[in-house]
């Protein structure tokens, strides 16, 4: 076990059974004209974490540790998208409608792809998920169990929606979860701050939080 300085106390990282999960770093959330923009959000806040997230992915690749990417993505016929999700928020453009980057939140469309700086490479796992959480209707638990993964390090967007939902789902399934606080972002600064606090509160009721520098220093000690 590698003790990683974190809140609420050091995170016991198991280097033989750890995976990084990068949640939904897609053009649909990060660029203008995508799904996040259609809901009325200022999407500019999110692109700021791309370099930190790239460095985090680079650390896992260097170590040879498992990297998982998720995408919030629906089948072209929207058979995996409940009507409640299509109409929620009365958006300017609905899921499945044609936007500046193709059909909103639909698999295979340009806007549904992960931003080029963080693109998956051969051998990495890519999970298309119809919900906010990574475990609902995806087979993710079986996929991770087959690889013996017990520890999940989280990054991505948005902190209080898909990241928090996925982390709570993972926590209930018994994974030891660590969120990298400068590799996650929300459209709302106050929601990110509150989410970080509630994850680590009550002795780490959902998991641990720490900045990338702490994880890097613990796993790549200076010689």
Which residues lie near ligand TIU (CB under 6 A)?
24, 29, 36, 39, 72, 132, 157-158, 161-162, 187
The whole-angstrom separation of Cα 42 and Cα 190 is 14
Least distance to ligand TIU, CB of residue 57, Å: 17
d(CA 134, CA 20): 13
Q: Find the catalytic residue in 24, 81, 94, 192.
A: 24
Q: Indicate the residue among 151 and 192 with the shorter CB distance to ligand TIU.
A: 192
From the CB of 185, what's the least distance to ligand TIU, in Å?
A: 10
CA 70 – CA 121 distance, rounded (Å): 13
Q: Which of 28, 81, 94, 162 is catalytic?
A: 162
Residue (131 or 207) nearer to ligand TIU, CB: 131
User: What SS3 class is residue 152?
Assistant: strand
- Comparing CB distances to ligand TIU, the nearer of 11 and 38 is 38
> Given 28, 81, 94, 129, which residue is catalytic?
129
Choose between 36 and 204: whose C-beta lies nearer to ligand TIU: 36
CB of 91 to ligand TIU, least distance (A): 10
Smallest distance from the beta carbon of 98 to ligand TIU, in angstroms? 19
Q: Could you tell me the sign of the dihedral formed by the alpha carbons of 191, 133, 200, 154, in that order?
A: negative
- In the DSSP assignment, the letter for residue 155 is E
Q: Is the peptide bond before 158 cis (omega within 30 degrees of 0)?
A: yes
Burial class (CB in 10 A: 0-12, 13-18, 19+), 17: middle
Is 63 labeled as catalytic in the residue annotation? no
DSSP structural state of residue 115: P
**Both tokens assigned to 78:** 């929207």
Question: Annotated catalytic, 129?
Answer: yes
Positions marked active-site = 24, 129, 162
């Amino acid at each position: 076990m590698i003790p990683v300085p974190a809140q609420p106390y050091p995170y016991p990282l198991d280097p033989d059974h750890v995976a990084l999960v990068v949640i939904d770093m897609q053009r649909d959330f990060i660029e203008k004209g995508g799904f996040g923009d259609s809901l009325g959000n200022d999407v500019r806040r999110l692109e700021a974490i791309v370099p930190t997230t790239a460095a985090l992915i680079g650390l896992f690749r260097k170590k040879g540790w498992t990297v998982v990417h998720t995408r919030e993505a629906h089948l072209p016929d929207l058979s995996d998208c409940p009507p409640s999700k299509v109409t929620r928020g009365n958006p300017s453009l609905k899921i499945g409608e044609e936007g500046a980057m193709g059909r909103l939140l639909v698999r295979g469309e340009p806007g549904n792809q992960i931003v080029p700086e963080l693109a998956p490479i051969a051998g990495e796992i890519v999970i298309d998920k119809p919900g906010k959480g990574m475990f609902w209707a995806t087979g993710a638990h079986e996929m991770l169990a087959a690889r013996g993964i017990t520890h999940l390090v989280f990054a991505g967007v948005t902190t209080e929606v898909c990241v928090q939902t996925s982390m709570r789902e993972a926590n209930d399934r018994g994974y030891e979860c660590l969120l990298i606080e400068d590799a996650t972002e929300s459209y709302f600064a106050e929601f990110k701050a509150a989410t970080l606090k509630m994850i680590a509160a009550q002795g780490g009721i959902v998991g641990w939080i720490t900045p990338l520098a702490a994880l890097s220093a613990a796993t790549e000690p200076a010689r």
